[in-house]
Structure 1
Amino acid sequence: MSEFEDWTGRSQSVTDILEPARSNALDVALGGEGARRAGDEIPLLHHWLYFWDVKPPAGLGTDGHPAKGGFLPPVPLPRRMWAGGRLTFHKPLLLGAEVTKTSTITAIKEKTGRSGTLVFVTVRHELDGGDGLAVSEEQDLVYREPAAGSLPAPVPAPAPAASWLETVDPDPVLLFRYSALTMNGHRIHYDRPYAMDEEAYPALVVHGPLQATLLMRLATRNLDAPVTGFDFRGQQPAFDGAMLYVCGEPNEGGAEIWTQQGEAKNMVATVRTGEAG
């Protein structure tokens, strides 16, 4: 990865207003009432709905993502996914506030896995709502080789045994609405022929950030103490056409939570309460 050494340490800042309508739209799409107003605390992870990176048609790749280069390095691997992340919540962000997000590339690493060459790019984000650091976040992006063969569809199975359990139908409408609310043009989430024929998935892919948001929603509904930390990692894709179980087990410091289709866990996460790290 020596050719991308110049990208490590690159930084950019963008500012957006956390207008309530976008957050409320996601809340309604997930079955909520969408009644929050300016001045209310934004639900955790709803900051992902803002800071859009809107490109003209000429600035898009064939997968619907912004074309490679610019802030992120032009890694010469065709498949790009959000693999996981780590967040610390220092203080609430308020709807209606003007927030600045400063992003810095902190690491670029190449690894070899069962599916071939992988390149991980870690980006640190710091969000400031005008009174100091509110959210610090690390995102792990993974670039992969073309698929060697089609992935299998999830095999139906009974609901997992979990202390907390919700069932979500990740149908194409929900996936489209989340793509629209996040300005995520990646075609694997709404273009079935592309997802199946070009990237060898068995169906539309459920967004990793959407799964993380469902997990956070489950945790905040069930925990008595405020969430101060959240670490999550994708283990394998989830797809439309099968129910997605959103599961949790509380523990002394928060909870272990995960999404599951069939027998396989798709995303695993840890929620922490107490003082922010």
Structure 2
Amino acid sequence: MPQPPTGSAPIDLALLRGWIGRSDTAAETVTPELARRFAATLGCGCDPAAGAAAPLLIHLCIAPPAAAMTDLGRDGHPAKGGFLPPVPLPRRMWAGGAFTFHDAPRIGEEITRRSTVTDVTLKQGRTGPLCFVTVQHEITGPDARPLLTERQDIVYRSEATDTAAKAAPPAAPAGHHQRRITPTPTLLFRYSALTFNGHRIHYDAPYARQVEGYPGLVVHGPMLATLLCHFAADLHGQPPKTFHFRSLSTLFDDADIILHAEAGGSTLRLWAARDGGPVAMDARAEF
């Protein structure tokens, strides 16, 4: 059975906002092996030859934080503090973000990511406080060549405690273009490995169900955004100039995911949902 919700410490917003301006820099080479593993996991095309363009959004797998085992919490996440502020709320997820593409990273290049905390805000949600942390990532290649600018929106929230009956959200509409994805445990495990993401909700089914109270393994927000962005690029025949997305609900490994798209001039609207379910992620690609 799920563990009962635990109390949270008071949130000192002034303390957390002291993290604004804090930055971190990491770098790693885009190896042919990484590109092959990324393409094999997500089913995208890849030319692993030196100098070839790397797959879209492979930067999310570059130089991930590598906390020691002794620095991890029970959920597999690094203990709070360090680069990100120590928000005293137990659940963390990718709430949304945006990518602006400048140039493609190349196989064999060293890619540098400079990350800066740009904002920390506190809101009151239906089930309790929500703390939003905004991080700006600047991705560059050799000689500081701009590759990509990313805004990452992270939300922290309390354990789910609202048991009141709620009206079911409407089912997602069907897009003119569709692509079906089966989120198998193997797919989720491989993406966790690619991004060095130890969060147990993505690969440890007993933990996800019995401790976190989820109906199954949780589909990664970054992976879902990547699949939608790849879908947009495939439909338009080229990578977008910008890609914005926001997470609206959670998807699990208990049902197929349908990627939907509708074209409108130079803009492509995209969304993801399970069969008969509400929109889980909404996105917009501009070319």
TM-score by length of 2: 0.89
1:270 aligns with 284
* Among candidates 63, 68, 71, match of residue 56 of structure 1: 68
2:135 aligns with 123
Q: In 1, are the aligned partners of 2:47 and 2:54 still within 8 Å (CA)? A: no
225 and 254 in structure 1: CA distance in 2 versus 1, 3 angstrom threshold: farther
Report Cα offsets for 1:155-206 as digits up to 9, x if no partner: 9x99953221110100101000000111011111011121112222111100
Q: Is 2:151 aligned against 1:146?
A: no
Note the C-alpha offset of 1:114: 1.1
Q: Is 2:242 aligned against 1:229?
A: yes
2:211 aligns with 198
Distance 1:149 1:12 in 2: 37
259 and 73 in structure 1: CA distance in 2 versus 1, 3 angstrom threshold: same
Q: Is 2:102 aligned against 1:84?
A: no
Note the C-alpha offset of 1:252: 1.2
Give the root-mean-square deviation of aligned CA atoms.
2.1
Distance 1:198 1:128 in 2: 40
Note the C-alpha offset of 1:35: 4.0
* Among candidates 23, 45, 48, match of residue 35 of structure 2: 23
* Among candidates 53, 60, 78, match of residue 41 of structure 1: 53
Distance 1:231 1:159 in 2: 19
* Among candidates 162, 183, 186, match of residue 199 of structure 2: 186
Distance 1:151 1:180 in 2: 37
Counterpart residue type for residue 67 of structure 1: A
Distance 2:95 2:171 in 1: 27
Distance 1:30 1:151 in 2: 38
Note the C-alpha offset of 1:41: 1.0
1:98 aligns with 110
Distance 1:141 1:30 in 2: 23
1:211 aligns with 224
Unpaired segments ≥5 residues, structure 2: 1-12
Identity across matched positions, percent: 44
* Among candidates 249, 263, 269, match of residue 262 of structure 2: 249
Distance 1:97 1:254 in 2: 31
TM-score by length of 1: 0.92
151 and 197 in structure 1: CA distance in 2 versus 1, 3 angstrom threshold: farther
Counterpart residue type for residue 267 of structure 1: M
Distance 1:70 1:239 in 2: 30
Distance 1:84 1:68 in 2: 20
Distance 1:167 1:210 in 2: 14
Q: In 2, are the aligned partners of 1:147 and 1:199 still within 8 Å (CA)? A: no
211 and 109 in structure 1: CA distance in 2 versus 1, 3 angstrom threshold: same
Counterpart residue type for residue 280 of structure 2: N
Distance 1:224 1:183 in 2: 30
Note the C-alpha offset of 1:31: 3.1
